[in-house]
Amino acid sequence: MKLILTCLFVFALVILLNGHQFRCDYKYSRQAQGWLKLHRIPANWREARLRCHLEGTNLASPLTNELKLAMVSEIQQAALECGVFTGISSFFSRGDFHSVEGIQLSKIPHTWVKGEPDNYNDNESCLLMSDNGELADVSCAETFPYLCYRKADRVFVNNICGTLDNEYRFDSRTGSCYKFHKVPRTWSRAYMACAAEGGHLAIINSDTEATVLRELFAMNPASSMIGSFWKDVAFVGFHDWGEHGEFLTIEGKTLKDAGYAKFSGGEPNNATTGEFCGAIYRSALFDDLWCENPYAFICEKKPDSLVCDD
């Protein structure tokens, strides 16, 4: 055990982010003086912003000429003729465009696509960047690819869990890291948050792992959570996959095959119908919950999930 912890400690120290490594799915750009990641799967603006935020970055905007050129290079290499969403919008006040960092459009170097901005149908509050770096206003509800960006403005050291997020805790009993999210989300949003952090909704594979999650839950009493939601349950990684009556883990295994299938007494009961998503009580016994109601949730990740193989 001491050897494992020593190796993990060394692992955490050697991942020094000196401008070359942030996480394996990001690429360092000297021109942009930071890390960029192209999301090819189109999303609406709100989803794009949230995804970048959950990955520990911002929805990229051409804040400087250098960053603009780096973004254009990514767009052209990917042959994205339609362009990408930027982080510039008038989300808070129509007509007042700012980047997600709060920088006014007037302070961002930019040129417009011919005929833009036109606020077509009085419904274009988000800005798109074309493959030549020009901007156009579009509907925030449309879907486009997008870039996430993190500026290399300081030196970082990844922790023992291989992430900058110090809310992840390594547990030697399972070899995994866990994070308890106090900000409630729907099950789908919780799934998204865990994936963006390089992990997944926690899957209980043994009584030992159930003990780990029970202890983690105990470290987060109801009094530590803000908001009006049920604070004695937390989403984890199982679901009925649309086939009501059978629960599987998010990896497609039955709960029994995964190694732990203990429900609380009287559960699952599909109370008032619609309880198709997996959760645990503070006891770490399973419960079925309403997928669209926001609750706390627990993410699990391996220490090397965001580390490049090379």
Q: What does the alpha-carbon distance between residue 84 and residue 128 come to, in Å, rounded to a whole number?
A: 6
Mean pLDDT, 10 residues at a time, the chain of 310 residues: 43 42 88 96 98 97 97 96 96 94 96 96 96 97 98 77 93 98 98 97 98 98 96 97 88 97 88 85 96 98 83
What single string gives the DSSP state of each residue in 92-145?
SSTT--B-TT--BGGGS---BPTT----GGG---EEEE-TTS-EEEE-TTS-EE
Average pLDDT score over the chain: 91
- Predicted pLDDT of residue 154: 66
**Vertex 233, ends 229 and 234: CA angle to 5°?**
95
Of 152, 137, 164, 127, give the one whose Cα is nearest residue 70.
Answer: 152
- Predicted pLDDT of residue 69: 97
- 223 by Cβ neighbours in 10 Å (0-12 / 13-18 / 19+) ranks as exposed
- Predicted pLDDT of residue 125: 97
- Predicted pLDDT of residue 257: 97
Of 148, 183, 172, 176, give the one whose Cα is nearest residue 162.
Answer: 176
Asked if residues 214 and 298 have their Cβ atoms less than 8 Å apart, the reply is no
Q: What does the alpha-carbon distance between residue 91 and residue 97 come to, in Å, rounded to a whole number?
A: 8
- Predicted pLDDT of residue 157: 66
List of domains in the chain: 19-151 (3.10.100.10), 169-301 (3.10.100.10)
- Predicted pLDDT of residue 271: 64
- Predicted pLDDT of residue 182: 98
Contacts of 65 (CB under 8 A, 6+ apart): 109
- Predicted pLDDT of residue 6: 43
Q: What does the alpha-carbon distance between residue 279 and residue 298 come to, in Å, rounded to a whole number?
A: 9
Q: What does the alpha-carbon distance between residue 31 and residue 19 come to, in Å, rounded to a whole number?
A: 11
